[in-house]
Structure 1
Amino acid sequence: MTVSVKSPRAPLPPLGEDEWPDTVEVLVMGGGPVGMTCAIMLAQRGIDVLLVERRDFVFRFPRAHLLNPRTMEAFHDIGVAADIYAATPTHDRWRKAVWYTTATGPGRYDGLKIGEVPAWGGGPDADRYRASSPRAFANMPQLRLDPLIHRHAVAAAPGRIRARQEVVGIRQDEDAATVSIRDVATDTIREVRAGYVIAADGGRDSAALLGVELEGPRDMREVVNYHVSLDLSAWSEPDALLAHFLHPGGGARRRGTIQALGPTHYDRDSEEWLVSVAGWMVEGDPDDEKALFDSIRRMLGLAEDHAITMHSMTRWSYNGLVAKRFRSGRVFLAGDAAHKHPPTGGLGLNSGIQDAQNLCWKLAAVLDGHAPDALLDSYQAERRPIVAWYTAHSLENANRHPPIAAALGFGEDEEEGFRNLGVFVSDTPEGDAMRARVEAEVAHNAHDYSQLGVEAGFHYSAGALVPDGTPVPGDPSDPVAFHATSRPGHHLPHVWLDSRTGEDGSPLSSHDLVVPAGLTLLTSASAAPRWQEALDLVAGVLPVAVVPIADGDAAWTSVREIGADGALLVRPDRKVAWRSAALPGDPSMVLDDALAVIVRGGDAPAEDPAEPFLRRIRAAASVLVQ
């Protein structure tokens, strides 16, 4: 297999404010975090990219906030992670989720704590999260994350991040997509020819323009979100970032959730809050600010005159949607344009960034002449089953609160619920038994807040990789347990290397050895010359950098799962594409065969690998408590 190979690219030259290119290699529609991350990833590779966003770049609502280790790895690669860590909480006490009746109030059972679980790599989870990745979990509300990414996008692609430009048409031919763009201010329409298009617009325009159907249940539960300033310093909970509220007045239903937004404190002294109130909690006119504030005060147990300042609000509904196709000719769907699911588990933004990371290295490889267009088909093969799994898992997480209410004895009879709270707080055998039941149901929320197997353990079973027939380690259905492995399709195991340090003397992770373009072949120092000789005989495919690791590096030896003269072939997104337990008799032939499979995007599975997760989505939706 031979494809033309281009020279390394120079940085993108800036575009003037009134300068519009006739052609670009990639056009990104949508200026949210997924679209902007795509623009940065491509621009840093020298890919000619243009991003258009139909709105301005004034970011008004908090939205997502949890950034898991795999996402922070991607942000580290593009130079964004350090800024995120610098702006997030400096302590780890925020890493837990709690359940209360209310935050405060005059009643006997107001402000009663029901339970808590460690979350996002905190408490007893800290060691295993640290072992999974060199990058820590972070918390940054999207209200502040988006401007940060925007600054990096503008710097990486100067003049190429355009606001108030709406895509109104996409025509495709064999060579390119012609994108019609309307200037929102002037109503002028211009056309740009793009080799490829990334639709990261949340599906607002792309769904209609492309006719791609999203399958799954819609509008399952209504939620009203408020971004407010609110004094909760009287709350007895000193540290938690996130709290859920269950109350006899709500029966089996959760009343809502609050999340500290900082920007200085991420605990009860937070200056701003994201308050999510179940739609049924709003009594009276839903457009009346008093009715909205009353629902907040009632949920939190606040006095009628407790001051609240509204910054913004939004209404939305739970969906469990996955696009049937992630590719439509030269257009690729990413983020919410391709999948929509509840926030339980915090997987929405994270999965979108992982879409970007998966897609952009492949686009760069194709545009650089290192791989055929067929490699891009592996984007759907790899990402669609993962986001279907995430969607199912998120919906299942959303059903983990009613069992807590049931263990408390909450139901249709509010007075009986209060009597059962009396049992819950009593120093009696019945109280002991109830507390044990409640604690067990709260602990089941580890599937939401300690879900390292989902966050770090997602892997691809088909796509741009060569399966080796070995079984998936552990129980793939366990969302909590994480098993580091070098099995193809899985993430490269992370260890701090004994034998390698950075230029500043700091330790290097095995992840730090992966090159940003092409593939990385990791092997022992003694075997590296023979692998390099073999690669020198293989031409015209994805470039491969041989990176040796000292033979005696005990940390690496403990996780590599191959022999001393074996090798791992790793993609820029740190997924293992192929492995050889030992040096084969004819390594150049074996490598040539492996690279041929990888660049064509692997073999299509006989059955839709997303279907089992689509069934789980439907099952979880059918029992979702309103």
Structure 2
Amino acid sequence: MTEVPVLIVGGGPVGLALAADLGWRGIDCMLVEQGDGIIRTPKMNEVNVRTMEFCRRWGIAERVQNCPFPGDHPMDVVFVTAMDGYELARMPRPARSDDPPGPDSPMVMQACSQTWFDPMLQDLARSFSGVKLAHRCRMESFDADANGVTAQLNHLDSGRQAIVRARHLAACDGAGSPVRRKLGIGLQGKMELSRPLHMYFKTPDLFAQLGIPRGTFYLAIDKNGLWANVRVIDPRAGLWRLMLLDTPADFDANNIDCDAWLRRAIKRPMNVEWVGHSVWVRRGVVAERYSEGRVHLLGDAVHQVSPTGALGMNTGIADAVDLGWKLEAVEKGWGGDRLLASYDAERRPAGARNVRHATGFYQGHLNFDKGIAAIEDATPEGDALREKLGAQLMSGVGAMFRTRGVQLGYRYDDSPICVADGTPAPADEAVEYVPTARPGARAPHAWLENGRSTLDLYGRGFTLLRLGADAPDNAPLSAAASACGVPFTSFGISNPDIVKLYGKKLVLVRPDGHVAWRGDALPGDAANLIDRVRGAANAV
């Protein structure tokens, strides 16, 4: 029998991110994945700003930024009657080479397909000696008890059976999660929003063939409404994805005329190479709970997010980052008895928030199916309709491409391991991110004098920022952390802009980069504060 601290089931980007984060933190783990780890038709294509910040922490941000998606390719979103039809509106979004970081993050989003992103995460995970990736290996069953999990594994190519004993099981096993089903954890929300169809095709330089300006994401609307989108995944290889937002009630998944759907989307016959297709169920659901005992669930196993807004995988990566530092703390002995319970308390509301936003973005697609019969007419009436629709689409459907607040603004306001400071919560805006160092929030980014970001200070244990020349001495808090074995560092900052941004003279930031506590003076009982933020049962 093999023994390992953490067994991860599922080798998609969320499972790989957790394995990599644990390896980065010095925690041994084993990941099992029944597939071979090769992505042939990617499910995700965007690494958002917050996930890029995690990649920066892990040391792979530059590799993601330099993925094969051309740096000079514009990221424009285009509303069309068809790609070779009328252009109703265009949302300019700069190519990555022309898109410097904004004031609120050192990173920018990258169009990095799962085809490229998964191998990067695999390489990162494998770079740590304590991480083992086992592909073509399926967990057939497991039994959980108070001290851990015993799992039966099946190595599919050889047929060899194995037993693994782990202190923790992390289930990243997808929407159908066998682990979730065995635990009897239900899903809450909208079980079926639609049944989309993905069709993947290759054709060399489609833009040149059609004689149209380049873009990345095309949304197609005709007299029947907004019905599809066409996305370029790999411009150099000519790989595209056509998505039907919903399929008809009488749709035959075994008899798909891909060419006919493509003719409707482009408005002319095309000679393309079809490389795959799939029909799936769009949902907007969150699990009833994220953990049971020593079993924790992440990603699609606990939240199924409409891809409108590109939040699904990125929400799962944030799950992995939250759980990763807590597993490290428990395994190294400084995490308290209540620490792992905070994973559900923090991440379930965050998952529900993102599901709510993504579902709303999708439902906004359904408002454009009436009074548009003349949308393709070459008449003054057709021109006027297209101008009106373009503005409405940019305002309504375009919202799913304006999600800075969703990406960076999630907070753990009610977390049992964050200490509220009594300040009012800023508005949770989808579009605009409002920087705040209020406990539970992502600690804001600011550039330091040496060209580093404040975000670069966080990750390895707790970090206390001492802000301003008159910041109090932190010796009592440092001593309390040391007494419990909690990794702790302090950093003095005098820049007045950063002092103002963080709002207090002392700000304690957790290993995941979220604020745990802040104040202008240390509390009288520094040991109790440390116990609270490390999840100790005796904390008040």
TM-score, normalised by the number of residues in structure 2: 0.92
Q: Say whether residues 1:576 and 2:502 are aligned partners.
A: no
What is the alpha-carbon distance in structure 2 between the residues aligned to residue 601 and residue 98 of structure 1?
52
Equivalent residue number for residue 301 of structure 1: 267
What is the alpha-carbon distance in structure 2 between the residues aligned to residue 281 and residue 308 of structure 1?
24
Query: Where does the alignment leave 5 or more consecutive residues of structure 2 unmatched?
Result: none
CA offsets per residue over residues 508-540 of structure 1, 9 Å max, x none? Answer: 1111122x2320001137457821354225521
Give the alignment partner of residue 243 of structure 1, picking from 184, 207, 218. Answer: 218
Q: CA deviation at 1:46?
A: 1.8
What is the alpha-carbon distance in structure 2 between the residues aligned to residue 154 and residue 331 of structure 1?
24
What is the alpha-carbon distance in structure 2 between the residues aligned to residue 123 and residue 115 of structure 1?
23
CA offsets per residue over residues 536-575 of structure 1, 9 Å max, x none? Answer: 25521522211122x2x2342341212xxx2110012111
Equivalent residue number for residue 611 of structure 1: none
Closer/same/farther in 2, CA of residues 367 and 315 from structure 1, 3 Å limit: same
Equivalent residue number for residue 350 of structure 1: 314
Listed as ranges, the matches of 1:332-481 within 5 Å are 332-406=296-370, 409-410=371-372, 414=373, 416-419=374-377, 422-423=379-380, 425-426=382-383, 431=384, 435-436=387-388, 438-463=390-415, 464-473=417-426, 475-476=427-428, 478-481=429-432
What is the alpha-carbon distance in structure 2 between the residues aligned to residue 184 and residue 160 of structure 1?
17
Listed as ranges, the matches of 1:48-63 within 5 Å are 48-63=28-43
Listed as ranges, the matches of 1:192-211 within 5 Å are 192-202=164-174, 203-211=176-184
Q: CA deviation at 1:286?
A: 4.0
What is the alpha-carbon distance in structure 2 between the residues aligned to residue 93 and residue 220 of structure 1?
32
Equivalent residue number for residue 498 of structure 2: 556
Q: CA deviation at 1:95?
A: 2.7
What is the alpha-carbon distance in structure 2 between the residues aligned to residue 330 and residue 574 of structure 1?
24
What is the alpha-carbon distance in structure 1 between the residues aligned to residue 188 and residue 86 of structure 2?
41
Give the alignment partner of residue 18 of structure 2, picking from 6, 14, 38. Answer: 38
Which protein has the larger Cα radius of gyration, Structure 1 or Structure 2? Answer: 1
CA offsets per residue over residues 48-83 of structure 1, 9 Å max, x none? Answer: 211111121222111111111110111121222221
Q: Say whether residues 1:227 and 2:200 are aligned partners.
A: yes
Q: Say whether residues 1:215 and 2:188 are aligned partners.
A: yes
What is the alpha-carbon distance in structure 2 between the residues aligned to residue 326 and residue 334 of structure 1?
7
What is the alpha-carbon distance in structure 2 between the residues aligned to residue 88 and residue 561 of structure 1?
41
Closer/same/farther in 2, CA of residues 403 and 216 from structure 1, 3 Å limit: closer
The 8 Å contact of residues 523 and 567 in structure 1, kept in 2 or not, is answered as yes
Q: Say whether residues 1:190 and 2:162 are aligned partners.
A: yes
What is the alpha-carbon distance in structure 2 between the residues aligned to residue 471 and residue 230 of structure 1?
53
The 8 Å contact of residues 88 and 386 in structure 2, kept in 1 or not, is answered as no
Closer/same/farther in 2, CA of residues 55 and 385 from structure 1, 3 Å limit: same
The amino acid that maps onto 1:532 is A
Closer/same/farther in 2, CA of residues 322 and 50 from structure 1, 3 Å limit: same
Closer/same/farther in 2, CA of residues 321 and 534 from structure 1, 3 Å limit: closer
What is the alpha-carbon distance in structure 1 between the residues aligned to residue 462 and residue 310 of structure 2?
30
% identical equivalent positions: 27
Q: CA deviation at 1:400?
A: 2.1
The 8 Å contact of residues 118 and 449 in structure 1, kept in 2 or not, is answered as no
Equivalent residue number for residue 227 of structure 2: 255
What is the alpha-carbon distance in structure 2 between the residues aligned to residue 277 and residue 360 of structure 1?
36
Closer/same/farther in 2, CA of residues 55 and 526 from structure 1, 3 Å limit: same
Listed as ranges, the matches of 1:456-535 within 5 Å are 456-463=408-415, 464-473=417-426, 475-476=427-428, 478-497=429-448, 499=449, 501=450, 507-514=451-458, 516-524=459-467, 526=469, 530-535=473-478
What is the alpha-carbon distance in structure 1 between the residues aligned to residue 538 and residue 412 of structure 2?
12
Partner SS for 1:392? helix
The amino acid that maps onto 1:491 is R
Closer/same/farther in 2, CA of residues 310 and 441 from structure 1, 3 Å limit: closer
Greater mean alpha carbon deviation, residues 71-80 or residues 349-358: 71-80
Closer/same/farther in 2, CA of residues 346 and 92 from structure 1, 3 Å limit: farther
Q: Say whether residues 1:133 and 2:108 are aligned partners.
A: no
Listed as ranges, the matches of 1:615-626 within 5 Å are none
What is the alpha-carbon distance in structure 2 between the residues aligned to residue 200 and residue 118 of structure 1?
36
The 8 Å contact of residues 39 and 49 in structure 1, kept in 2 or not, is answered as yes
Q: CA deviation at 1:424?
A: 5.2
Closer/same/farther in 2, CA of residues 45 and 286 from structure 1, 3 Å limit: closer
What is the alpha-carbon distance in structure 2 between the residues aligned to residue 545 and residue 512 of structure 1?
13
Equivalent residue number for residue 172 of structure 1: 144
The 8 Å contact of residues 405 and 431 in structure 2, kept in 1 or not, is answered as yes
TM-score, normalised by the number of residues in structure 1: 0.80
Q: CA deviation at 1:94?
A: 2.5
CA offsets per residue over residues 564-609 of structure 1, 9 Å max, x none? Answer: xx211001211111001x224xx5x3432322222227999xxxxx
The 8 Å contact of residues 378 and 601 in structure 1, kept in 2 or not, is answered as no
What is the alpha-carbon distance in structure 1 between the residues aligned to residue 517 and residue 20 of structure 2?
28
Closer/same/farther in 2, CA of residues 118 and 456 from structure 1, 3 Å limit: farther
Q: CA deviation at 1:204?
A: 3.4
Listed as ranges, the matches of 1:65-144 within 5 Å are 65-91=45-71, 94-104=74-84, 111-118=85-92, 130-144=102-116
Partner SS for 1:375? coil
The 8 Å contact of residues 62 and 227 in structure 1, kept in 2 or not, is answered as no
RMSD: 2.7
Q: CA deviation at 1:120?
A: 8.9
What is the alpha-carbon distance in structure 2 between the residues aligned to residue 149 and residue 162 of structure 1?
14
The 8 Å contact of residues 62 and 274 in structure 1, kept in 2 or not, is answered as no
The 8 Å contact of residues 397 and 445 in structure 1, kept in 2 or not, is answered as yes
CA offsets per residue over residues 292-338 of structure 1, 9 Å max, x none? Answer: 221112221122xx211011111112111111010011110000111
Q: CA deviation at 1:90?
A: 5.0
What is the alpha-carbon distance in structure 2 between the residues aligned to residue 375 and residue 139 of structure 1?
35
Q: CA deviation at 1:275?
A: 1.2
Partner SS for 1:24? strand
Give the alignment partner of residue 599 of structure 1, picking from 519, 534, 539. Answer: 534
The amino acid that maps onto 2:8 is V
The 8 Å contact of residues 168 and 205 in structure 1, kept in 2 or not, is answered as no
What is the alpha-carbon distance in structure 1 between the residues aligned to residue 112 and residue 179 of structure 2?
28
The amino acid that maps onto 2:498 is W
What is the alpha-carbon distance in structure 2 between the residues aligned to residue 357 and residue 285 of structure 1?
41
Query: Where does the alignment leave 5 or more consecutive residues of structure 1 unmatched?
Result: 1-20, 105-110, 265-269, 502-506, 605-626
What is the alpha-carbon distance in structure 2 between the residues aligned to residue 397 and residue 339 of structure 1?
16
What is the alpha-carbon distance in structure 2 between the residues aligned to residue 241 and residue 437 of structure 1?
20
The 8 Å contact of residues 341 and 391 in structure 1, kept in 2 or not, is answered as yes
The amino acid that maps onto 1:228 is F
